[in-house]
Amino acid sequence: MRAARLHEYTDDMHDAFEIEEIPRPEIQSPNDVLVEIDGAGWCQTDNHIVEGMWTKYVDIDFPQTLGHENAGTIAEVGEDVTTVEPGDTVIVHPLDTCGECRACRQGKDTYCENSAFPGMNRDGGFAEYLRTSARSVVPLPDDVDPTTVAPHADAGITAYHTVKKAVGGLNPGDYAIVLGIGGLGHIGLQALDAMSAAKIIAIDVKEAALGLAETLGADHTIDSSSTDVGTAIEEITDGEGAQQAIDFVGRDDTLALTEDMLALGGDHHVAGYGGHLHETSQTLVHGEWAYRGSLIGQYTELQELMALVAQGDVELQTETYDLAEINDVAAMLEAGEIEGRAVLVP
């Protein structure tokens, strides 16, 4: 089968991958499924993997097939699989979990003690086929296209997981901030609008992103490249601040906005990464503010997100590319030239 293979870490995205013919994966356990990939989303995390940023957490054996935002059609199933059958369309949760450890039995998939992560420590979906577990696949409604829905497997579920936590701290009439209306942020904003009665403030540096935010349900927008964020939020909220801030950027400049954004007792949810926290402990004590990280989400949350998609409450902004264009896609995302999500089609 055709696959895009990474042979070494590099900072140059223009020639990071090679398109190669490799053996098609085979069913290895009774609970395995083989998914014929219809679409695999390119994620900022893929850029970070290529650059070697994840070596502290994951050992990668080269050559490796990346790709953790996958959706497609069931091609084969193991002998014990009863939840799906060949021909079913599915989206694939990015973690392959054991189902037996304490975390799994509590429904906390992302904390599984024995998980595999296709696209990091196992071959992923930038290929024609992907082997995973029946525990990881969510059947899609008939009218949902697996090609364009693929980025929900990570970007969507991460955005939804983050928003779901924030919604628990919001009452009708409260203010919630969404920082970064990009690949994750435009999903998170829609989920927030569908799941709460809060007033939404969208913050970005791009005029086009702020225009998109308005069409997706934002009540207020702030261009942080030309406006003082703290002053603007003070005016919008009558000096109170927002009860929840959802940060899909995670850089130094957005992480430093906590005191300027939040009402007393508010939460700063961090889903984007790359920056550093530099807040004093006294500031946190004074405001009773909390930073809350978000990584992916649970299997059940992917099911919930698919329900929102099927209802028309969440729509992805996507562009599709042939798998052979993978290096161009990686370079474009590195340069900030992709709006929404890029999907590679084998």
pLDDT score of 55: 87
Q: What structural domains does the chain harbor? A: 2-154+296-345 (3.90.180.10), 158-293 (3.40.50.720)
Average pLDDT for the chain: 95
pLDDT score of 230: 97
- Beta carbons of 221 and 191 less than 8 angstroms apart: no
Question: In this predicted model, what pLDDT tens digit does every residue of 275-289 receive, in sequence order?
Answer: 999 989 999 999 999
Is 90 exceeded by the pLDDT of residue 249? yes
In this prediction, residue 72 has a pLDDT band, given cuts at 50, 70 and 90, of: very high
**Nearby residues of 291 by Cβ (< 8 Å), 6 or more positions away:** 255, 258, 267, 268, 270, 277
Report the share of the chain in percent with pLDDT over 90. 91
When computed from its CA atoms, the radius of gyration of the chain, rounded to whole angstroms, is 20
Report the share of the chain in percent with pLDDT over 70. 100
In this prediction, residue 57 has a pLDDT band, given cuts at 50, 70 and 90, of: confident
Is 90 exceeded by the pLDDT of residue 176? yes
Question: In this predicted model, what pLDDT tens digit does every residue of 105-159 receive, in sequence order?
Answer: 999 989 999 999 999 999 999 999 999 999 999 999 888 999 999 999 999 999 9
pLDDT score of 142: 87
Query: Distance between CA atoms of 240 and 268, rounded to whole angstroms?
Result: 15
In this prediction, residue 336 has a pLDDT band, given cuts at 50, 70 and 90, of: confident
State whether the Cα torsion 32-37-41-46 is positive or negative.
positive
In this prediction, residue 314 has a pLDDT band, given cuts at 50, 70 and 90, of: very high
Name the DSSP letter for residue 314: -
Is 90 exceeded by the pLDDT of residue 339? no
pLDDT score of 60: 85
Burial of 140 (0-12, 13-18, 19+ CB in 10 A): buried
Look at the chain and count its residues: 346
Nearest to 204 by CA among 189, 225, 187, 183: 225
pLDDT score of 208: 93
The single-letter code of the amino acid at 320 is T
- Beta carbons of 160 and 301 less than 8 angstroms apart: yes
Is 90 exceeded by the pLDDT of residue 338? no
In this prediction, residue 1 has a pLDDT band, given cuts at 50, 70 and 90, of: very high
Q: 75: which 2 tokens? A: 């091609």
Helix (H/G/I), strand (E/B), else coil: 129: strand
In this prediction, residue 75 has a pLDDT band, given cuts at 50, 70 and 90, of: very high
Query: Distance between CA atoms of 135 and 173, rounded to whole angstroms?
Result: 39
pLDDT score of 151: 96
> What average pLDDT does this structure show over 31-46?
96
